[in-house]
Structure 1
Amino acid sequence: DKEKEDKNDHSKRKEDEEIAETNTKDDTEWEVMECEEVDEDEEKQVRKEDESHIIDDLREERLKKPEEKMYYKDDYPTTVFLALKEFKDAFILTDLTLNTEDGGSICVHSTVLAAVSSLIWIKLNERKAENIRVTEGHGWSVSLGPEVDCVGLEAVVEFAYTGLISCLNVQNVDQIQVAARAMGSPRVLALCHLYREKPTLLCKDNKRVKLSAAEQMSINLESIKQLWMHRVGCDVWLEAIGGSVLVHRVILAVSSDYFRGMFTLGMKESLQSHVSLPFLLASDLEVLIGSSYNGALPLNWTGVFEIAGLSLQLQYQPALSLCFRFLQQEINAHTCLDVVSFAEAYEMAHLLEAADDFVLRQFQEVACTSKFKDLPAKQLLKYLNSNSLCVSSELVVFNAVLSWIQAKPSRRIRLADELMRKVQFSLMTFKEFKEVQSQNIWCNHILTEVYKNISEDFCCNQTPQKSQCRIYLPKESLVLIGGDQISEDLCSRSVSRDVWFGNSVRSLTGTNKAIEWRRLGEMPASPRFSHEVAVLNGQLYILGGKKYYGNGDIFNSVYRYDPLQNSWESLCEMQEKRSSFSVVVLDGRLYAVGGYCESDHMDTVECYCPTTNSWR
């Protein structure tokens, strides 16, 4: 027994000496502490933990299978054709010369003109069959018959590039029709026919009979896309890893600054029919090029970072803006830290600010993800120091720090003191601090002083300094809104616009409970009853109802209350007035179902989309 005691004393002294030696080390540099060498057993443990995280991530990915969403740039056709017109006016990449017998000639892009002219489409098909390719400075030409003059031809070309004919009038409508027939341009002919029938181009029978210029350009772009899909008029092969893509170089040039420089600044690639891009995957390149022809990108979390990185590399601004929109609109707790890393790597300040803001606002949810446990110490410290950190209580902050330390305890245990100082223990309730005390982490000798400091912080009777205060998220509460009330003598009824919330629940005898109600404020509009309320994304919606007891007193108005800002917002009205109806929240939308209007039962349903602020 004595020998055992001696051995225990010896091992305890040795352990105390090691702890003392460790505590004397200068651990002020976070990078050094994160990269400290560990022994072989610790390395095995770390590898095991990392593998466990990887397996968890793979399981998450398999379970999620992120759905692909199509993102559109609505003004893309207008943007593309504006650039194409600038190219035409500057004779950049024009490959087709149109000649008239009166000596006129116009240089255009054959691809653009083929979008409105069946004649040019057929000519391009013939050239494809004959395997004729066009290189810079070696274009081709089409001579038109004597019936076509420059006035009519210029109108057809203008329509191809702008979707309208600005010079159309009584004097030249015949010339434009002749040119449109010769070029095989049915939409130009339709425009001339419409002008002859109704020169003012107004509406007929309350229906629009004339497409706008933007709509015409959308049709033109779709036609160019069809040319690409059928490999008609394409003049350059892009060779990448895993395959090649045949495209129109002029479309690449107006979509990408990278290709604009390659094909318009005298580089050797401007004369080549095959361009090698050995640093790109053909599959990614084809997705990106597809967006050049329709302004749309299919995106999901599996491939958005690769597409965004490729868009940056090739300076594809339209595609990049769609990627940014996806990253900001679809961001969630499981992906926000990936967005942060991506934005930091490419120095995108605006995207980084949005991602950091999401992390701070949804900190509790983010802290529960596996990726949170891989945060660098400096980044975690940045979030904990932020005045914008939103949590429901300090216990959330403590649990986040604790889970981060326990993910790699051998490396991170010495960072506990610095991180725990960011938790405002003095703002905790006794129940919350009891949970802090119950944690097994305090058994570690290194944390003895840390625990002592925490206890002193909690027991401190001084008023917390301003720097110690934190803005907490609103707690879930039961809310009462409006309604009507009958007086005690049953002689009168009144309608309310008050908003109350249940502040706390008090126990009475047995299982009885009493709710302490407090006034939250007032609705921004008329008092109402028989209305509906719903909660979507933490915000309160008030819909429809009645302001009094007559048939003409029913509302279709909608209001939204934001508890974080303590503000009301008037939204798009419902399509129908409703009272005593139902509202259902499903897949991020509101559905108004049935109800009463003017003493009649209703059997209609309408849906509200918060993103577009519209009903259908």
Structure 2
Amino acid sequence: MQSSCSQFVFPLQVASNLREMNLMREQSLLTDVTITAEDREFECHRVVLASSCPYFKAMFTYDLRESTERKVTLHGIEATSFAQILHFAYTGTCMLSKQNAADIFVASDLFGILSLRNAAENFLKKCVDSSNCLQILRLSSMYSCPEVTKIAKEFARQNFIDVTQQNEFLHLSIDDVIVYLNDDDINVAREDLVFDAAIRWLRHQPNPMNLTQRVLESVRLPFVRPEYLKIQSTMEVLLNDNAQCLQKISEAISYHHSDSNCGTFSNKQRKPRKRTSREVVMVFGGETRIGSTHEASNDVSYYDPMTSRWDSISILPGAVSAEAFSVVSLGYEIYLTGGTVNSKATNEVTVFYTYLNKWVKLSNMLVPRYHHTCTAIEDMIYAVGGTNGSRCLDDVERYRSDVDKWEKIEKLVHAIKCPAVATHKEKLYVFGGFTDSYVISQSIQVYTIPDKTWTIISSPMIDYTCAHAAPINSKIFLLGGGSKIVKIYDTETDQVSRVSDMLEKRDNCGVTVVGGKIFVTGGVSESSGPSLMTSECYCPLRNKWERIPEMPRPLHRHGSVSMRIPIYQRTDRVSPRTPRTMTSSEEMTSPGIT
């Protein structure tokens, strides 16, 4: 039996109706509201606006004054942008271009037209260039568009030279230009280029003298060539009449000649940018034992995973004179703490500035110690446990680099020496270690920094094999205690488990993390055996160990840290204990740039 009903569908009817209504709008037929944007008036149909824009639906259907007025004035939107919005409301089409995409994005966000907003956002991702990346970055940050922000920010970083030549850069606000120039990831070969960009921006400002000092604080003045700074301080009007800026420039010129810790510059100003440096495995001091021959090493060498090569940094004999010290990296600096000198515990602390290739003596620790372990978290260095030569220590102290000062914190629950120490988030993890009677502690002592409290976790998995701690994300790898065994502690579950063994049995080796991989250097296979030259690398993603090139010399009981060093590395010979006077020819050499 055939149905007596049949539905007829004409798919083009809706589009046809909209085209007709748009023609009627253009001819002002049956329009019932006039929208004014800037000085331009647009005749419209309320029903079309309300059906396509949540903004207008609320305006015309709620008990608002505009719901009954014949004329409505819009504020904060350009007439050209509203014309595009109106055209989209009536036709469902919009012509996007580099010139209008940002304005249409803002307008469609205001009127709640999500389809058009998304289209404009996707268009902005594809049209980022040197002339608009800063505007797009500012816009995407303001309107919470993380993908666009990421693209625009990376483009601005990679193309710093081109971007800073554009008018858009000159029109940045003081806050925005400081953020841009402060960025550690901008792609520059020399800091001179950042200095030039800062001066160019300042020259464009109506009252630059009031802004000069703030902007120059974003430039890492110690890494601008001294001879260039001298010329600029003489020739540049913005600088030669500004006593404070001239003082900063003078300090920057002499920065790498001084044996102070140069507190006049911020931590960021004293570090080269990432694009002018690379991350390496740095190895310090230690001992070399071959047969009956035994000698202390004062070498500093590093392994570059990018080139698979070892290189050495030349320093004066005796520069790394302590034994049984602890070494830790903080930013671009390496701190060597305590140890023994002439068989006596010391509390001396020296820092190695990799970007100046120079040692500087800092404030002593509060307690002389050796066989302790240092770690860094939140720009502070923690010295944990150890021994003073007569007993194990439960003392823990931390160093604040901003004031060059050590301070005591809460004591360990159990006094230990030779612990493995690592940090994660706001916690300090102390694994194992020895008591005075050389009993191995099978506990994890956990210090919660905000609460200033220690707690204990006991585990039979914590033993002599847990000599070093290497944190990667939420996992802490434990290894290097006279065995091939490698364990992993999960900070989220407090569980200890096994992963792939090392290729070689090692004790008194160096362990550090670079680029998400663990690098193990040297050590000994047997307690009285020869020092090892071999090194290996562990990839957590593949759970696999691989050999890497051998060290320049066999070593054990050495320090090992990850560190970023300048691409242009100086080779001066400087001792941490012995200050010296530089020659006049050295005074014209840039610390980080050739």
Is this a same-fold pair by TM over 0.5? no
Normalising by structure 1, we get a TM-score of 0.35
Q: Name the one with the larger helix percent.
A: 1
Larger radius of gyration between Structure 1 and Structure 2: 1
Q: Name the one with the larger strand percent.
A: 2
